[in-house]
Structure formats: C-alpha cells, structure tokens
Structure 1
Amino acid sequence: MFEGHVLYLLRKYLGEYVEGLSVEALRISVWKGDVVLKDLKLKAEALNSLGFPVTVKAGFVGTITLKVPWKCLGKEPVIVLIDRLFVLAHPAPDGQTLKAAEAATLEATNRNSRGGPAPGGNSWLYNLISTIIGNLKVTISNVHIRYEDSVSNSGHPFASGFTLSKLAAVTVDEDGNETFDAGVALDKLRKSVELHRLGIYHDSDSNPWKLNKNWEALNRTEWSEIFQDGIEDGSQSSIWAVNRNYLVSPINGTLKYKRLGKNERGDPDTPLEKASLVLSDVSLTVTEAQYYDGIKLLEAFSRFRTRVDVSHLRPVVPVKEDRRAWWRYAVLAGLRQRKLCYWFSWERTRRLCQLRRRYVQLYATLLQQAAKVDISEIREIEKILDMKVIILWRLLGHAKVETVKSKGTLYRKGASKKRWWPFAWNTTGLPSEEATHPESQLDEEEQLTKEEWQAINKLLSYQPDEDMSFPLEKVSPNVIQFMMDVSIGQAGARIINIDGTEVLCGRFHQLQVVTKLYPKSTCCDVTLKYCGLSSPEGSLAQSVVSEGKSHALDVSFVRAPIGMDLDWQLIAKISPCHVTVLI
C-alpha cells in the first residue's frame, strides 16, 4: 500500500540531485521492492543546499540500491546501498548563478519550515518513521568529493577533497550483534556505525583536472580510474593522485549510539542517550601554502555572503567598458544595504504588482511540470528582483499549487460519493490514473481505509493512545539527557613551512573527551595520558607520567553547575612536564 508513496519520494528527492531517472523503470522496481539505479549523473545544483558559492562541474553515482521487504516490513530491515559517489565541484561561474543557488536553498528551507510541526508524541507518522529509520541498514562505499578552485587565490590554484572507503550503519543488540528491533516506536534503540579510511586532502598549486573528452561521455570504468585512487589501501601511482597532500590522513573509527527505553529510565546517572566514538590513529598535517589557500577560500565565501543580496545588480562587463553601469551598481548596492526604499513610486509599484501576478502564474505552472512553461521569461523577471522577493513569490507559487490540489481533492471526494454503480471501480486490477499520481495523495491519511490503518498499527506495535514523548519538565535536573564519549588512541599534528621543512610537531596518546548534557547544565571532561611537542632542534615539551599515576592532563569544565550559584566552573590538573627553551 506504500509503493506509490515510496515512488513519489524517490522521484521527488532523487530527482533534485540526479539526471536521467526512468519513471517507468523506477515504478516497476519499487513495486518489486528492489530498486537498482546505475550510472547516474549529478545535476549542477546538487550542492546548492550547502549554501556555498560552488556548483557541480561533474558528478557520478555508480549504484543506488534500495531493498524494501514489503511482505516482511516489520521483521526485516530496509537496506540502502550507495556505491561510487564521485563529485567534482568548482566555484559558481557568476553572480546570477550564486543568486539562483541561494534562492533555491532558502526556498527549500522555507518550505520545510512550513511543513508542520515535527513528529512526536503519539503521532502515527512518528512511529512509522522511527520503525523504518531505526532499522535502516545503510552502506555507503567509494566516495570521493573534490573541489577545484582557480579563483579564490589568484595565481595559486588549489584542490581540496575528501575520500571515504566505506560507511556502514546497522541496528545492534546489547552484545553488538546485528538485529532487528520491532519495539514500540523503537522505544529502545542501538545503532553501530563503522567508518573506514576517511581522509581529507588539500593540494596547493594544483591545476584543475583536464580530460581529452567531456565528463558526460565517461563510462563507469573511466570514472573509477580517475576518482578511485586514495580511497582504498595501496600506493597512489596514477596521474590523478600525484602530489596529494592529506590534511587528515585516512582514519578508521567506530560510532555506537544507544537510547534507553521508558522502562530503563530510572537511574539518573545513566544517560538517556549515549554516543561513543572511537578513533584509532589520527594524523594532521598543515603546510604554509595550505594555510594561505584556506584563508583565501574563507574570504571568498565571506564576500559571497556579503554580495549575494546585490549580485543581480552587478554588471557583467569590465569597468573600462561601462563606467556608468558600475557607478549605478555602487549607488544601488549602497542604498539597498541601508534598506532605503528608493524604488517605490506609483509607477514602480504598479509594475511590480503586474510582475508578481505573472511570475506566480509562471512558477506555479512550472511546479506542475507543464511542457509549455517559458523558463526564459522567469529568468528575465528574476534579474530585476531581490533574492528575498524571489523567494516570497516562489512560496506564493507553491501555495497556489497546493490550493489547486486541495480543490481537486475535494471535487474527487464529492464525485466519488455520487457513484453508486460498481463500474466506477477499477475492475481490471491495474492501477488507476489517480493511483499512478501519488503526489496528490501523500498529504491525506484518509486515502487508507480504517482496516488498513489498523493492520499497519498492529505491524508497528503502535497504539494510538500511547504517548511516546518524554516531557523535559518531568526530567530531574540531575538526569543526563545525552552523553558523548570521544576516544582517540594516538594522534599527531605537524606544521610545515613554505620550503617543506617541519616547523613544529605535536603528539599525544589516549585522549578522551566526555560531554554530558543535563536539562540546564553542561559538563565536559578531558583526560590525556601523554603529550609532547618538538621542533627540528629537538624536544620542546614532554609530559612526565609514571606508570599507574595521574594523566598528563585532566580538565573538567561545567557550565551552570547544579546546586551552585556559578556561571561556570573549571578544574584542571597537569602532571610535571619537561620544557626546553631555545635561545
């Protein structure tokens, strides 16, 4: 009964990121419960949600697999497999593109915020989502996302990126073995996430990749040949990974999450939720060139945030060719930043009203995926509008579409009540036209019969009268609501100058950071077994810790200590340390 809903969600969310989705093939796969999508191309606006002035130059997804056990939905997990996610990004080409990206991002944010209250309490949707997500089995492998920039630091192009060999998340039992939890709205939950070879690199003075053919013409093997180096263990011998410098060398780790059930929440010293992250070996390396590139990149992002509101006013010609346009841009941008309403004349107001009606009509038609929509007219109107005005008018377009859908739904309900002969039903066993368009049905729980809802509730062990919420006002101030435990076996950090000489090197062993969140207080404890600092001339500092004695560092910070009239409290203990002063 949920096949149409899953199909709609896949089309809606996957369609925002990838191109070439076959709706018919996707529909057949969803009804079979085994969706396999291969060799997908990412859209240029796939990274718009990050809010950065970047766009996708080329992107490839090797395989997306979704396995939904429709007949055993309450007994077997939903499996999601993503393999070979390769993305090549670069700075957005012009101000108008930046403006469009920012507008799309903020528009999506506004739509999500208007979507209604968050699921919780005794909401059936909350129980459904909890059951599916709580038992979701996700595996992501062979990920490489690369950003190339020849603009931010003029004369010094650079490339940054991160690689990931594998990320796997499963539901486990008390012993750490994989299981399926079909409890009441997953009242008690345990998850385990395995991380393999996550690395972050930054190559200074690195020219962008160049190919002999277009990125769109690459096949799966060619994509893997270019992006695969560095993901798995082994030497980086190809030309695509030459001179690769890691900021964070590939690391492995394990994350475990545990949430107590309602019947287990009696001991205030036991956290209601706990997450534990264990990293074995962490290595950081920062060069002087990488530092300069990072500063220039942050400056570029800062300029983007400053100029995005007036980017549509910025001339596209050099100053020498049209000085008048640049003076006009300077004046209008200054007035806009001071929020002076210089443009509100009666003629201007009348013109804006006409544009608003026309834009809302065009955008509403575009949302309904009509083939005759004039995209160029929409773009021309957007060129003379402020970004926030565009977002407001787009939201009006969404509201208009929702109004039309609501009227259509009411009309269909009224028409169905008038049908009294059996010919009105679909007797061929095939999905009707209305059933093939779940978009118009997703917001209506009444589409399912009472018997169907009872069957689903029984499957999910959900009782409508139960309240799964845990009100904060009933929680004692001494109860630990959430605890995060981060442990690092050993780590090292190096600073290298422009000549490639190591300037400073630091290392430590057995670092543990424990953070506890109370209803009105926060506590953070840091312990360190050993630490040392050295330079090319020799050791600068080294902790002295005898076996079985205190740590090299023991720090406890508390914000708003319970039972004390203090804003914060800090307690620190440092073991003896040998320090060398070089003169």
Structure 2
Amino acid sequence: MLESYVTPILMSYVNRYIKNLKPSDLQLSLWGGDVVLSKLELKLDVLEQELKLPFTFLSGHIHELRIHVPWTKLGSESVVITINTMECILKLKDGMQDDHESCGSNSTNRSTTENTKSSVKPRRIQQAAPTDPDLPPGYVQSLIRRVVNNVNIVINNLILKYVEDDIVLSVNITSAECYTVGELWDRAFMDISATDLVLRKVINFSDCTVCLDKRNASGKIEFYQDPLLYKCSFRTRLHFTYDNLNSKMPSVIKVCCSFSSS
C-alpha cells in the first residue's frame, strides 16, 4: 500500500535530474528496497534552472547511484541516496544578462511542463490505489512529508571543474553528506509540526581540495600546481522555517558555515 504512494515521489525526484531512465525498471527495483544505477547522465538544463548560478554546465555524469528504501521502517528511518563519483564541468555563461532572460522564459515553460507531469502521475496512482482504513489520507500525507524531510544524501568523490580559456579550476571533495538533525544539531529523524514549523539540516564536506592549473592547446594539463586548498572540511547548518504544514518551500532559510583545515 505505502509503495503506491511513496514510489512515484522518489521516481519523480530521480527522473527529474537523470537522463534516459526506464520508469518500469526503477519502480520494480524500488519496490525491492534497493536500486543500483550506473553510468548516468545529468539533466544539465534542470541543474542550471534550479541552482541559478552564473555558470553553464558543459557536462555532468554519475558513475553509480544507489537508493535504499527501508519500507518496513519508513516512518523512523531515512531513505538513503548514495552517489559514488559525480563529475561536473562548468564555464561562465556568455552574455549572462541575455541568457538569464531567455533562461527564465524557458525555465518557466520547463517548470510548468515538469510540474504538470509530476503532479498528474502521482494522482493517477493514488486514485488507482485501494482504500485502506488503516491508512487515512492525513496519515499518508504526514508519512510522505516525513520521508521527504528525512532523505539522507551521500556523495562519495565529488569532482567539479570550472574551465575558462586555458584555466582549469578544480574542486575535489572526498565525501559530502546532507542529513536531518534535531534541536541540538545531532543526526535525528525529524518532522515539522503545527507547533514547531522548523526543520534543520546539516551538510558536511570532507577532504576538499582546490587546484588551479593551466591546460595546453589540446586541453590537457601537463604540469599540476600545488593545491590552493588541501583536505579542508566544511560544515553547513541549514535552518528552515515554514508558514504551515502544507508549505512546499520554507519562508525563511538561515545558513551558518564553519571551516576546518587538516
């Protein structure tokens, strides 16, 4: 019963950012509790639209994507999304002002289309799902909210490269993780409530190395320079405040960052 509600939501998130997925294969794997996908391409236009950075994504690849869904403990354990090796190459947008205006128009069209798709599919599945007196609509909505609010994202080996003419700025992060925390900022399974419309998350970046190198005419780096930063770690605290339980986006976001170097 729960699978018919939760699976479409997880599928919509994955399908939103990944190219050429087969929904049937993904759905069957999710029902089994674990998904392993290899050699994936990211939807670059969606990343640009949502991140709203002054950069263009030239490429984006994921070596391996794993999704673990604890169906029997969905109300108390996090869905874990693990990405093993993710590499993106970016460059500064040409004519950022013009691109921003056209991108805004295209983004609106894409967003409208994608929102329509994601909203229609879950409704069809929910209507087809059998009625269960033990799972009233209020409970289902609450469960889905808890699942989404507690998704744990882990990225092992994140590689970001910025290229401009013969310059290559690379950022290599050994591990990055985003998870939900409690009031004391310790890892916890949390949810917002009518009396406490606050959600807290932590993002940890471990072993971050930043390099600035020069490439030759063929695009290869012959001599690597010493890193600008070597094995640094960052910890970001995110404090989200919502207007009500049905709010899709927080009304207030507070960010606090800390830095450490080995």
* TM-score, normalised relative to structure 1: 0.32
Q: Could you say if the C-alpha distance between residues 75 and 484 of structure 1 is closer, same or farther in structure 2, counting changes exceeding 3 Å?
A: closer
1:131-178 alpha-carbon deviations (Å, 9 max, x no partner): 12333222122111212223xxxxxx3223432221223344567654
The answer for the alignment partner of 1:162 in structure 2 is 171
User: What percentage of residue pairs aligned between the two structures are identical?
Assistant: 22
- Kindly indicate whether residue 234 of structure 2 is the aligned counterpart of residue 253 of structure 1: yes
Counterpart of 2:28 in 1: which secondary structure?
helix
**Closer, same or farther: CA 125–158 of 1 in aligned 2, 3 Å:** farther
- The residue that corresponds to 1:193 in the other structure is 203
Q: Is the 8 A contact 1:144 1:164 kept in 2?
A: yes
One-letter amino acid matched to 1:87:
C
Q: Please give the residue correspondences for 1:30-49 in structure 2 after superposition, counting only pairs within 5 Å.
A: 30-43=30-43, 45=45, 47-49=47-49
RMSD over aligned CA atoms reads: 4.7
Aligned-partner SS, 2:178: strand
Does the alignment pair 1:105 with 2:120? no
Please identify which structure carries the higher strand content. 2
Amino acid at match of 1:138: I
Mapping for residues 167-566 of structure 1, pairs under 5 Å: 167-172=176-181, 178-181=187-190, 184=193, 187=196, 191-203=201-213, 205-207=214-216, 210=219, 242-243=224-225, 246=228, 249-256=230-237
How many residues align structurally?
232
- Give the Å deviation of 1:28: 1.0
Structure 1 spans left out of the alignment, 5+ residues: 117-122, 151-156, 212-238, 260-271, 274-466, 470-480, 491-583
How far apart, CA to CA, are the structure 2 residues paired with 1:106 and 1:4? 29
- 2:132 alignment partner in structure 1: none
Partner of 1:18: 18
Distance 2:103 2:211 in 1: 26
- Does the 8 Å CA contact 2:171/2:211 hold for their aligned counterparts? yes
* Whole-angstrom CA distance in 2 between matches of 1:209 and 1:124: 59
Specify the SS of the correspondent of 2:45: coil
The amino acid across from 1:254 in the alignment is R
Report how far residue 72 of structure 1 moved.
1.8
Q: Does 1:79 align with 2:80?
A: yes
Match of 1:19, SS state, is coil
Match of 1:66 in 2: 67
- Mapped partners of 2:6, 2:186: distance in 1: 29
> Which structure has more RCO (C-alpha within 8 Å, separation ≥ 6)?
2
Q: Tell me what 1:382 maps to.
A: none
CA contact (8 A) 2:237 2:255 kept: no
Mapped contact 1:164–1:196 kept (Cα < 8 A): yes
Distance 1:198-1:241 versus aligned 2 partners, 3 A rule = farther
TM-score normalised per structure 2: 0.63
**Following TM superposition, by how much is the alpha carbon of 1:41 offset from its aligned partner in structure 2, in angstroms?**
2.3
What's the offset of the Cα at 1:44? 5.2
Looking at structure 1, the residues matched to 47 and 192 of structure 2 have their Cα atoms a distance apart, in angstroms, of: 37
1:35-66 residue CA offsets vs partner (Å, 9 max, x unmatched): 22111123453543155675444332012222
- Partners of 2:38 and 2:67 in 1: CA distance: 12
Q: Distance in 1 between matches of 2:29 and 2:18?
A: 17
Structure 1 residue 195, shift from structure 2 partner: 2.2
Tell me, in whole angstroms, the C-alpha distance in 2 between the residues paired with 1:241 and 1:6.
50
Q: Aligned pair 1:137/2:152, yes or no?
A: yes
